[in-house]
Structure 1
Amino acid sequence: MRTVKNIIYIIIIMVPAMYFGYTGKPAEMGIAVVASALALTFINMDKFEFFKGAGFEAQLRKVEKATEEAYATIDTLKAVAAPIIAETLHSINYAMRFSAGVAEIQRKLDAKHELDRVAESLGLKYEPLNKEQANFYRLHTWDLYSWAVNHFSKLKVDHEIIKQLHDVRKEKRYTDDFPSKEQIVSILQSEYSKLDQEGLDRIEDFLYFAKNKNLRRQITEEE
């Protein structure tokens, strides 16, 4: 009987989360994990013998056992939720980076914030999740940098200068050592005068995201 019940627990947790993950809805996937915890709470209502009165008086059959099982259920939920949230964030980090580019960053930020809220509410301590959270900002900051540099090419900035700018990312892409505005201007030298307002805005977008982990303005489409 206990084995069957454990299987039910797993189904309640996994099925909704897996469905939303499969259909590309990471925020809903995180919410499903929390909803599953509530469902598990109600499954364990058989620990109560009866309810009565306006004050909802309840008598526990075995208080100590119920308490132990409640903690075990929470621990199980955390053990299952942590890798699911980490894998979901991994998908957010890498999905559509090249097809949609920076136009999808705000939507990804919204999904990440929802997953962070779920992880925080559950008190999750999980190294792969911490790694994916750090990777999110590193990857998208460098994407914004490349987005700016690619625009410079359209302004007929010298090819060798463009190459130097791309080499900065190539050398530091696995780090958070992002170039400052002064460094970018130093590489551009006299070519800096060729930048239009959009080029200047993109530099500011990159620098703002690197510092604040958020977008400076709404980016509606890839140009």
Structure 2
Amino acid sequence: MNRWTTVLFIIVIALFLSACGTGNEEDQETENQEQSSPENNMDTGEEQGGNATAEEEVLVSMMNQDGEMVATATITEDDSGVNIHLVGENLPPGTKGFHIHEAGKCETPDFESAGGHYNPTNAEHGFDHPEGPHAGDLQNIEIAEDGTVDVEVTADMVTSQMDEDNTLYTDEGTSLMIHSEADDYVSQPAGDAGDRIACGVIGE
């Protein structure tokens, strides 16, 4: 009887140890699955890659000579260049010159603090000038009779990428400017576009 009791005891111990080992393996497998689950890992490379490819937008608030906000420009960039979507109101109607200026300062009432047109290539002003245009020259915009504007223009000689040639993010900064008259695309130094009536700092 002692012999059979011993054998039975050994079998029971072996079964118990086998069951414990299986349980530990299942617990370890469950833990590994939980650790690798996307819901429990907020720093995955996939999420970081998704954020990195999101389209960047820069908003520029533009004020008039009285310091009142009259327009917002949304700046994005693609293969065609820097795209500027301008939406505004309470502006004088008509065809107006629209430029990128060489300093990120918009001090009322004349906005002379913004300097001249952004011109890193030392070109002449105007799309119709044989030695132009400035990098900051833009197509004229049309403001409706009710003083509103909703227009898109493209600047294909500049970039919003920092540390690149012709970047909008220079040490002095840059700004957007609306003028009181149309740009004739040839007169020096600014296309005979009249007074500066609205200004906004890029990247402020």
TM range (shorter): under 0.3
Greater share of strand: 2
Is the helix fraction higher in 1 or 2? 1
Q: TM-score, normalised by structure 1?
A: 0.23
Structure label with greater radius of gyration: 2
TM-score with structure 2 length normalisation?
0.24
Q: Which has the higher contact order (CA 8 A, sep 6+)?
A: 2
